[in-house]
């Protein structure tokens, strides 16, 4: 298969591209190399992918429709996986315009490309943040997602509904997947695990928001990629509507469109998360307890039922194993391109 992946210099895009290349597929990688965090880390990801002859990188911004079209023309892929976005919940409070440009305008360009190309399957990333402070647990794809707490969450909800409209109007088979706190090697420096490991090793304080009372459904990145790859083979169509008792399929009645959680349904308290990091590192953290930050949600908790019904799979990697894999990577990587 031929894939076009947006965001291949990013955390998740890199891992997905590497997995597909290892399996013998060809990947055109599109990335803007923005300076939201250390560009050297992004360049190192692309350098690792460049070891595969079937990887063809293209540097460009999502907002540039002509650049996207040029990337598509390299190999005219069968599948588009749209992962590139302006990420970060807290940064959306500081610079919401970046989210409008990348997540709304950029996604519209991807949808236009998918319409013109008549691709087999469009897959795009959403987030558990669309559930907001949902009081019902676990979070099911059929739950209301009309109360986003940040512009980041609103922009990803908009991504879903924009894609649904294009799927209906132009019959584009589309799967939107909602990620739940993804972590692992090659992760983003603005995420909690990266900050905690760095802080503990440096002997500096780590900031624990919400007084540690929050919980997250952590998803190891290899598990997430496994979910995406499996879903790529389940193209939304009336013929594959789920008929499992107790599972509500989100396959639209108006379009070949479906939303799927990718999470294991095993939330972990923030203090338990910190203790796991301490255990793996073999040293205690200097903790600075802080109140809940604006835009934060108290918990995330995925229902994996639809993912299991569609693919027979759900994330299973233990938090300790995942944290250990990240630490092993971090200790090597910081000598090369993180410091």
Taking each helix axis as running N to C, give the angle between helix 192-202 and helix 319-333, from 0 to 180 degrees, rounded to the nearest 10: 60
The reported pLDDT for the residue numbered 162 is: 98
Q: How far is CA 301 from CA 6, 191, 261, in A?
A: 27, 18, 10
Query: Mean pLDDT, the chain, as a whole number?
Result: 95
Which residue is it, tokens 């909690």?
Answer: 192
* % pLDDT > 90, the chain: 90
- The domains located in the chain, with CATH, are 2-180+220-262 (3.40.50.720)
Supply φ then ψ for residue 274, to 5 degrees: -60, -45
The reported pLDDT for the residue numbered 70 is: 97
pTM above 0.95? yes
13 within 8 A of 48, measured Cβ to Cβ: no
Which residue is it, tokens 């099911």?
Answer: 140
The reported pLDDT for the residue numbered 95 is: 86
The structure tokens listed for 333 are 């990587």
Active site residue 152: yes
15 within 8 A of 85, measured Cβ to Cβ: no
The reported pLDDT for the residue numbered 339 is: 63
E strand intervals along the chain: 2-6, 26-31, 55-59, 79-82, 121-127, 174-179, 182-183, 205-208, 215-216, 219-220, 257-262, 268-269, 286-289
Catalytic residue among 72, 91, 99, 152: 152
End-to-end, the C-alpha distance of the chain in Å comes to: 38
């Amino acid at each position: 298969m031929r894939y076009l992946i947006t965001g291949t210099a990013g955390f998740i895009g890199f891992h997905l591209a590497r997995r597909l290349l290892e399996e013998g597929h060809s990947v055109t990688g599109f990335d803007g190399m923005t300076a939201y965090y250390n560009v050297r880390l992004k360049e190192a990801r692309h350098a690792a992918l460049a070891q595969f002859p079937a990887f063809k990188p293209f540097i460009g911004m999502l907002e540039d429709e002509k650049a996207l079209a040029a990337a598509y023309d390299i190999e005219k892929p069968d599948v588009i996986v749209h992962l590139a976005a302006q990420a970060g919940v807290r940064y959306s409070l500081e610079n919401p315009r970046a989210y409008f440009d990348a997540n709304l305008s950029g996604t519209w360009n991807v949808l236009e490309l998918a319409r013109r190309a008549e691709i087999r399957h469009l897959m795009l990333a959403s987030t558990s943040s669309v559930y907001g402070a949902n009081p019902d647990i676990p979070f099911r794809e059929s739950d209301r997602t009309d109360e986003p707490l940040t512009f980041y969450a609103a922009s990803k909800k908009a991504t879903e509904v924009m894609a649904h409209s294009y799927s209906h109007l132009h019959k584009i088979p589309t799967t939107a997947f909602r990620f739940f706190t993804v972590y692992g090697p090659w992760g983003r420096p603005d995420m909690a695990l990266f900050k905690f490991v760095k802080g503990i090793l440096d002997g500096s304080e780590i900031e624990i928001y919400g007084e540690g009372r929050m919980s997250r459904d952590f998803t190891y990145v290899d598990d997430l990629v496994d979910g995406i790859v499996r879903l790529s083979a389940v193209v939304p169509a009336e013929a594959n509507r789920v008929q499992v008792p107790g599972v509500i399929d989100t396959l639209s009645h108006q379009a070949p469109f479906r939303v799927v959680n990718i999470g294991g349904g095993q939330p972990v308290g923030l203090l338990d998360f910190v203790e796991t990091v301490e255990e793996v590192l073999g040293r205690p953290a200097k903790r600075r307890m802080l109140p809940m930050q604006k835009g934060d949600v108290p918990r995330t908790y995925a229902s994996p039922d639809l993912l299991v019904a569609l693919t027979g799979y759900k994330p299973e990697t233990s938090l300790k194993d995942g944290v250990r894999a990240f630490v092993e990577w971090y200790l090597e990587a910081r000598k090369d391109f993180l410091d």
